[in-house]
A = this chain, B = another copy of it.
Amino acid sequence: MLRVEEACELLIHRAPPRRVERVPLEDALGLILAEDLRAPESLPPFPRSGMDGYAVRSEDTRLATRENPVVLPLAGVIPAGHPQEAELAPGTTVAIMTGGAVPPGADAVIRLEEVRVTPEGVRIFRHVPPMENVAPIGEDVKEGELLLEAGHQIRPQEINLLAALGILEVPVFARPRVGILSTGDELVAPHEAPGPGQIRNSNSPGVAALVRAAGGIPILLGVARDVTEVIAGTLRESSGCDLLLTTGGVSVGRFDVVREALAVMGAEQLFWRVSIKPGTPVCAAVLDGRLVIGLSGNPAAAITDFDLLVRPVLDHLLGRRRLGLRAAEGVLDQPVLKKAGITRYLRARAYNGPDGEIRLDTSMAQRAGVLSSMRFANAYAVIPAHAGPMPEGTRVRVLLQDDADVFVPQPRGDA
C-alpha cells in the first residue's frame, strides 16, 4: 500500500501552482513573501534627533568644560514635524525634540538633562562630538537596500518597517481557497436534531478549522447525499477553489461514491488507500487541474488524513519551508501490542520527560470511531507497518501538532 511519504510527494508534485497575490500590508501578517522587497527610499529621510535636547555645531562646543562652559544663545525651537529650513547660525543653538529634523549647519544634539538654560543662552559643559544623538539620513534603511527576501514570513516588526517606507501592498503566496464537501446520507446539519440512524455533519466545521489553523481559507460546500451525480454536480460548481476536500464516501462498500463521482467526471486518480490507520481509505485525484483529496468520513480518521496529507500541501502552497507537522523522536509510555499491516498513527500526548526526551502517552482510546480522545492528544506516535509488539520505552517517530508545547532535544554529539 502507498506510504504517506509517497502520497505526499504525489500530491505536492500535482498541486496547483502557487498563486502570488499583492495584498494590503495589514493582511500580510503571517504570509510569506513571493518576491524580494527593496527599499524605495531612505530611513530616516532627514538627519533626525534621537533625543530631546539642543542642536549645536559640534565645533562651537569644542572648548567647553565643566569649569568653563560655552553659552550658546537660543535661536529657536524645533518640534518634531516642524523643520527649520534656515541654517543654524554659528555660535547659536536651537531646542529640538526627539524625532525633529536637525537643521542645516548643526551636526550634534546634546540632551536637555545635560545643559543649563539661562537668560543669556544654553550653557554646555562639555564637547559634544559630531553626530552625537543624530541619526543621519539612511541610518536605518538605505534607498535601494534589500529589505526582505522572498520566502520571508511577515511578522509585526516587518509590518511596521514596510509601513515606514510607504510599502502598503506586498506580493505574497496567497492563502489557498479550500472547498470542503461532506458526503453521507446519514448527515444532518450541526444545528439540526439527528433522527434515527443520523448524525451531525461535524466534519465540515472540523475540517474548516483545520484549514483555517493551517493558513488556508475554508469554503464550505455543504453536504452531498450519497449519490454520484449530486457529488459530481457540487464538485463541478466549486471552480473558485484551489483545492477540494471531501469527507466520507471513500470506503470499500457499495457507497464508494466520491471515487465514482470523480471517475464519472473524468478526473485522473492519483491514489486510493494509503498506509494510514486510522484513515486508510483516502483518495486523491486531479480534476480540471485542481487537486481533490477524499478524506475518510470518520472524524478521527479525517483529522489524521488531513494532518498527514493535506497539511503538507497547504504548507507548500503557502510557501513554507517545512511541509507538514514537526517530526521528532519520542519514547512510548505504553507498550504497543497489536501488529498491523499498515502504519499506525496513534494519538499521543507528547510531553517532556525528566531527562528532557519526548515521552508519548498513548493511553487514550485509539479506535477510529472514537473522536473524543483526540482532545487529549497533541501528537501522533508512528508505529511502522509490520512492527512487532513494542515494549514500553520503545523509541518511535512522533509528529507534533502545532499546539504541542514540548521542546525537541537534539541528539547529542552532533558538534
Contact = CB atoms under 8 A, between A and B. Distances in A.
Nearest to A200: B164
11 contacts: A25-B190, A52-B255, A80-B197, A83-B196, A83-B197, A140-B369, A155-B209, A161-B202, A163-B201, A168-B190, A355-B415
A352 B409 CA distance: 10
A79 B249 CA distance: 12
A290 to B, nearest CB: 23
Contact of A82 (B26, B52, B197, B412): B197
Interface in A168-194: 168, 184-187, 190-191, 193-194
Contact of A191 (B44, B168, B253): B168
Given A29-B209, A79-B185, A97-B255, 16 more contacts: A25-B190, A50-B367, A50-B369, A79-B255, A80-B186, A81-B184, A101-B197, A135-B369, A139-B367, A140-B371, A156-B209, A159-B209, A160-B302, A161-B202, A168-B191, A407-B409
B99 A199 contact: yes
Contacts of A82: 185-186, 197
B81 A163 contact: no
A147 interface: yes
A174 to B, nearest CB: 19
Interface in A356-409: 356, 367-372, 374-375, 377, 401, 403, 407-409
A341 interface: no
A153 B403 contact: yes
A240 B375 CA distance: 35
Contact of A156 (B153, B198, B206, B412): B206
Interface in A6-61: 25-26, 29-30, 43-46, 48, 50, 52
Nearest to A163: B202
A201 B153 CA distance: 22
Classify chain A: how many residues form its interface, as a range. Answer: 35 or more
B213 A155 contact: yes
A412 to B, nearest CB: 7
Contacts of A210: 156
Nearest to A152: B375
Given A52-B252, A414-B354, A371 B160 contact: yes
Contact of A112 (B43, B45, B190, B252): B252
Contacts of A412: 355-356
A327 B374 CA distance: 29
A303 interface: yes
Contacts of A202: 160-164
Interface string A210-250: 10110000000000001000000000000000000000000
Contact of A253 (B98, B186, B369): B98
Interface string A286-298: 0000000000011
A85 B195 CA distance: 12
A159 B98 contact: no
Interface string A76-99: 001111110100000000000111
